[in-house]
Structures are given as C-alpha cells and as structure tokens.
Amino acid sequence: MNAARSRARSVCSPADTLTTGLGILTLVCALLYAGIAKAQDNMIVSHGYSFYGDLTYPADYTHFSYVNPDAPKGGEIALSVVGTFDSMHPYTRKGRAGALSSIMYESLLGDGTGNASAPADVYGESYCLLCERVEYPESKDWVIFHMRKEARFSDGSPVTAHDIAFSHNLLLDEGLKSYADAVRQRIPKVEVIDDHTIKFFFTEGISRRSLIDQVGFVPAWSKKWYEETGYGLDESRLDVSPGSGPYMIDSVDVNRRIVYKRNPDYWGRDLAFNVGRNNFDIIRIEYFGDDTAAFEAFKAGEYTFRSEGDSKKWATGYDFPKQREGLVVTSELPNGSPPTPSGIVFNLGRDNLKDRRVRQAIALAFNFEWTNESLQYGLFRQRASFTQDTPLMATGLPEGPELAFLESLGDPVPAQMLTEPVIEPHTSRAERLLDRRNARQAMRMLDDAGWGVGDDGIRRNADGNKLTLNFLFNSATSPTLSAVMENFVANVKTLGIDITFEKVDAAQYTTRERDRDYDLVFDSYGAFLGTGTGLMQRYGSEAAQFSLFNPAGLASPLVDEIINRSLNATTREEEQASLMALDRALRYEFIMIPVWYNPSHWVAYYDQYEHPEEIPAYSLGTLDFWWYNQEKADALRAAGALR
C-alpha cells in the first residue's frame, strides 16, 4: 500500500502537472487515489479480531475493565485434582496429561490463564498477544499476523513466525484426527513472510467463520526444541518444550503434585493485555484418589482453593471450625456463561440405542425432582437447553427469525419441530424414586419400539436378543454423583432393561471413553454463544465416528445443515436465529439425558485471596485475575490454619 501511494505521489508531482495537460492529469490522479483509498477501505488492520469487526477495547486500552490494575504479585494458590496423570504433554491422545499442562503456551491472539476467557467480560472478541496487529481483507481470504519482536520462550529464545508455522503443521501431522481433518479442509497454506510476519490462506468458497480465530489460537511451540530433541507431538512424556507464557513448570511428582511458577523474566508482563492478571507466584496442584480424600485435605489446609460441584458437600460439609472462625471463606459468585451441557450421553453407534423412542424411554427413568430433593438438597435447577438461560435458548414453538430460518431448510426439518413446542425434560414426582406414571409411559414406548418383555422380565427384540446396556462411570467422581447414577440405573432395570453400572478407575475410564467403549456415559458437550467451525467438530457428522468432543457420535444431516447455514450467516440476527434452531434440533435428536445445573460458582478458599468486586460474565478467573493478600496469609499461618 505504501509503494502504491509513493507511485501516486511520483505521477502526480508538481513537475508532472506543468508538463502535461492539467485537467487530464488531475482526473488521472483523482482516479488513482480513489483506487488506493478503495483498497485501503477493504483492508482491515487491527489490534484484535471479531467476526463482525467490532471490538470493545480500543487500540490504546490500558487494561481490561474488570481487572484490578494495581493487583499485587506474589503468593501461592493451591488446588486439587481427583485422578492420576502420567504426562505433562496435553496435546496427545496417549497418556493422561497433568492439570494445567497447557498453561505455559501462548498464541498469537491471547487467552486467559487456566482456561479462562480473556477478556472475560465480552464474547467473541480476541486481542493480540504474541502478535501486535492483525491484517486481513474484508473478504477474509487470508490473514497476516505481525508478531511482537520482543516475545521470548522461557529459555530466552525468540518466538518467531517459524515457530507458529511449525506448531500449526505439527498439529495437522500428529494432532487429533478430527482437528487435523477439519483444519486441512479450511486452511490449505501457511507462508512465513519474515521472522515476525506470518500469513495464512483460507479455502475459497467456504464460510469465513472461525478461520482467523483458528490460526490465531494455535499454541506456540519451539521449533528448535522439537528439532533438537527429536520428539513428536503424539507421545506421552514429562519433559516438554519451553513456552512463552507467564508460567513455567517448577516441579512434577507424578500422581501427587505439580507446581508451576511465574516466570520472573516473562516477556509480556507489561502488556495492556496482561495488566492485573497472572498475579500468583506459585500455582500448586495436589492430586487425590477420590473427592472425599480431596475434601478432607482441604479442611486440613493442604490446599487453599476449592470450586465445589457436590451439592451435599456444599449444603452440609462446610460447617467445620475453620469456616466458622472465618479462616475459610465460602461464597456463591455469579456465573454469566451458559452451563456446560452435562448429562447421561447415549452412544448412538450402538444398535440398541439407534431408535429415538428407546432413548426417550430410558430418559424417563431419571427422576430429577427426587434426585434434587433427596440427594442434592434442592440446590440445582433442571437443565433443558444446550444454551441454557441465554437469548439463544429455544422456547415454545419456533417463531419470527428462527421459524423463517427453519422453514428455509426445507425437507431436513421434521414437521414436529415446526408444529410442536421444543422438547423439554420430563417432570417427575419428588415423593418416590420411581415415578410410576413415567415408568408406564416408558414401557409403552419400549413395546412400540419392538422390545417386548419376556417371562423373565427382560426385554428382547423379535430376534430374541436382550436389551442390554453398559453404563461406564469414573469411580473417582464424587459419592453424590455416584449415588444419583446408581439410582437411575435401578430405575432403568425396572423397565426390563439388562443394564450394568461399571465403575472403573480414572485411567481406564479415559482409555475407554476415547475408544467409545460404552453404551451410556456421564459426559458433556460444549455450550455455545456464537457460531464457529468448532460446532461441526462437536456436533457435526464429519468427525462423528472418532471425535473426542462428540461422545454420542451424533451424525445428523439436519444438524449439519443448520451449522453450515449458521457458518454463513452475515448478520447477528441470522446467526442468533440459526443457533436457536440448533438448540431446538439438538434437543430433538435426543443425544443425552440432561441433568442439572448451578447458575452460580460455589467456591471455598482460605481467606488470603481477593477478587474484583464484579466477576465478569464469562469467567470466574481464579488463576487469571484474583490476587494474594500477604497480610491475610500471614494471619492464617499464625493461626496454624495451613500446612
């Protein structure tokens, strides 16, 4: 662009004006400058990225609005994890990676610490971190990232465009197949322009959704380290490549403890993106065999922060001396994100579960009301939607833009989705575990689906095969969740279904879950607030047989078409209508039994941490923007509260 402007200046110089026809030259110059201005108008150069081009924070922002820019640095925060690990390499299918093992790695566009969002007060906006600016045409046919020359890995070596290209290609060659297949189709070429400039090209004729985001969030690995060690990506190991992030590994004790320390020479500590963030000197992770042991260790002061998910513990377990004396804080903090769509997931690859009526009948065995009142102290709400309590949640009959969107799809849309209200979870009586009304309805549905009851009380099909199911369950999960699922299984058995509830240890569970070796499993999908190619990886057909993000193996032409249309939406209204339709369609497909959700964060911590008065909508941000109060910490130690 600068070269073109220089050429315009040379053609339209005063000397030229004197030696040619003034009127003709004026017209030529005007046309030339108009062409350059048009080219400039079609080119976007920015300090961040959003699909629609709108960014909340200006180029000269000094910090995110929710952080404390004066938050002190220092101290330790310690958390617990239930389970085991044998690797510090989080990007491979092999082994079980340690908690937070991706914390060391940054990307061109910035993200939050510990899987937090950054910024956490807006959705769908990303800001430069390893890059200083991003450049792309309005068509989004390609993108150029101009990188910060000061960026360094923790070993002091520079982070360059060569490292980004290497990381991108390594993920394609040795990363998850579902990821690699999707990315190859959309991003055919990457070009290193110079040491600090990299360009990605995007496939013609496809949606521009999630393309710039995709390449912008590739983790930056050291090409030099991989070449010197000869390591590949798809292998389990404890030694890992240096990262450029604010934290680095301090020590690892397999299956017991991981300690991360803040890098005192972190290159990006003074960036506006990082002001008020990454405040702890030490992040310690303690491992336990089960949640009961973990909770007792918290009460003893072996670790200092706990995010609680067990309603029984929250209702009754925190009445202990340290909490009563004010040494431990318990708090319910607001959560503006849609709850994770967790539930009992059906493996749609199993012949016994292909009939939707069978799945619906099994679901009727789950009694949310009894479970919530009898086992969970009435603290939860029943989840219905994949976008629960957001403007994207489908309700009632489709109408307005959503109805117009569904009608435009034509034949793939079942008439029921247009003429009947969106599917809601069934209701049950709370007085007893087995709701007889629901049980009778379930039995009728199973009869209609061809699974009659034999003299032994077991259901069989016309070929005499039993209706047999296996429910795979992680034995390290909380006793409350285990009790809930055991009661559900007991109800399923009353329907004449031969179901086994198989508890396995965390390592076996991980392996079998990856191999999809189950009929039922307690798992989750990803909630969504915007469209993107990640929707296809989670809910689409293209990787349904093997995607770790699609535990049901959902492969629905209807869902595929909705996602494809959503990816090509050109306005926010179109996007929102398509995502509401997606929620409606996913509930129609009935891939899981939705369970419950908590609209708040339940947290307990030793009174040595502080946080902003207002927690941003999209992240609790404990590791990201909370901070340590040294005076309070000293008082805790003087009282003997911590080990």
168 SS3 class:
helix
Contact 84, 291 (CB under 8 A): no
Tell me, what CATH number does 89's domain have?
3.40.190.10
Residue 375 and residue 253 in one domain? no
User: Are 180 and 52 contained in the same domain?
Assistant: yes
Q: What is the mean pLDDT of the chain?
A: 91
CATH number for the domain spanning 418: value is: 3.10.105.10
Range from 3-7, 413-417, 539-543 carrying the lowest mean pLDDT:
3-7
501-509 average pLDDT score:
92
With a cut of 60, say whether residue 37 has pLDDT above it.
no
- Residue 93: what pLDDT? 73
433 compared with 17, residue with greater pLDDT: 433
The answer as to whether 72 is a domain residue is no
Place of tokens 């029921």: 416
Confidence at residue 533, expressed as pLDDT on a 0 to 100 scale: 79
Domain membership of residue 76 (yes or no) is no
Model pLDDT for residues 418-430, shown as the tens digit of each residue? 999 999 999 999 9
Say yes or no: 158 and 271 in one domain: no
pLDDT given for residue 491 in this prediction: 98
Q: Calculate mean pLDDT across residues 79-91.
A: 91
Q: Do 411 and 535 share a domain, yes or no?
A: yes
Q: First CA to last CA across the chain, in angstroms?
A: 62
Query: Could you tell me the pLDDT band of residue 237, with boundaries at 50, 70 and 90?
Result: confident
Residues 86 and 192 in one domain: yes
The pLDDT score that the predictor gives to residue 544 is 85
Rounded Cα distance between 236 and 97, Å, is 8
pLDDT the model gives residue 545: 85
Highest mean pLDDT among 1-5, 191-195, 453-457, 638-642: 191-195
Q: Return d(Cα 334, Cα 337) in angstroms, integer.
A: 9
Inform me whether the pLDDT recorded for 40 exceeds 90: no
Contact yes or no for 246/73 (Cβ under 8 A): no
Q: How many domains does the chain have?
A: 4
- Please tell me the distance from the alpha carbon of residue 114 to that of residue 81, in angstroms, as a whole number: 13
Within this chain, do residues 85 and 216 fall inside the same structural domain, yes or no?
yes
167 shares a domain with 300: no
Q: Which residue has the higher pLDDT, 454 or 247?
A: 247
Burial class (CB in 10 A: 0-12, 13-18, 19+), 415: exposed
What is the pLDDT averaged over residues 442-459? Answer: 96
For residue range 560-592, list pLDDT tens digits in order. Answer: 999 999 999 989 999 999 999 999 999 999 999
Q: What is the pLDDT of residue 17?
A: 34
Query: Rounded CA gap, 484 and 371, in Å?
Result: 7
pLDDT value for 622: 97
Judge whether residue 3 has pLDDT over 70: no
pLDDT digits (tens, 9 = 90+) for 196-236: 999 999 999 999 999 999 999 999 999 999 999 999 887 88
Average pLDDT over residues 271-285: 98
Residues 97 and 28 in one domain: no
Percentage above 70 pLDDT, the chain: 94
pLDDT at 26 over 90: no
Domain for residue 73, yes or no? no
What pLDDT is attached to residue 354?
A: 96
- Residues β-bridged to residue 447: none
Please give the residue that has the higher pLDDT: either 567 or 20.
567
Q: Is residue 514 domain-resident?
A: yes
Of 26 and 55, the structure prediction assigns the larger pLDDT to 55
Q: Which residue has the higher pLDDT, 27 or 330?
A: 330
Q: Is pLDDT above 90 for 634? A: yes
Taking residues 442-454, report their average pLDDT: 96
pLDDT for residue 9: 32
Worst-scoring range by mean pLDDT, 452-456, 470-474, 624-628?
A: 452-456
Tokens read off for 299: 């009460």
Q: Which helix (H) or strand (E) holds 399?
A: none
pLDDT band at 94 (very low <50, low <70, confident <90, very high): confident
Least confident of 36-45, 136-145, 441-450, 580-589: 36-45
Looking at the structure, tell me whether residues 566 and 497 fall in a common domain: yes
Inside any domain, residue 158? yes
Number of other residues whose CB lies within 10 A of the CB of residue 14:
7
Beta carbons within 10 angstroms of residue 195's beta carbon: 14
Asked if residue 27 has pLDDT above 90, the reply is no
The pLDDT of residue 29: 41
Statement: the pTM of the whole predicted model exceeds 0.95: no
Give the domain range for residue 358.
345-597
Question: Do both 281 and 376 map to the same domain?
Answer: no
- Write 525-528 long-range contacts (CB < 8 A, 24+): 525/340, 525/341, 525/386, 525/549, 525/550, 525/551, 525/592, 526/340, 526/341, 527/337, 527/338, 527/339, 527/340, 527/341, 527/386, 527/387, 527/388, 528/338, 528/386, 528/387, 528/392, 528/579, 528/582
Separation between Cα atoms, residue 555 and residue 539, nearest integer Å: 7
Determine the angle formed by the axes of helices 572-589 and 400-409, rounding to 10 degrees.
70
Q: Label residue 15 by pLDDT band (50, 70, 90).
A: very low
Tell me what the mean pLDDT of segment 503-524 comes to. Answer: 93
Please determine, for residue 20, whether its predicted confidence score (pLDDT) is greater than 80: no
Mean pLDDT of 13-31: 37
Does the pLDDT value for residue 495 go beyond 60? yes
The answer on 170 and 113 residing in a single domain is yes
166 inside domain: yes
Per-residue pLDDT of 595-613, as tens digits, reads: 999 999 999 999 999 999 9
Is residue 395 included in any domain, yes or no?
A: yes
Same-domain check for residues 507 and 422: yes
Q: How confident is the model at residue 177 (pLDDT cuts 50, 70, 90)?
A: confident
406 within domain boundaries: yes
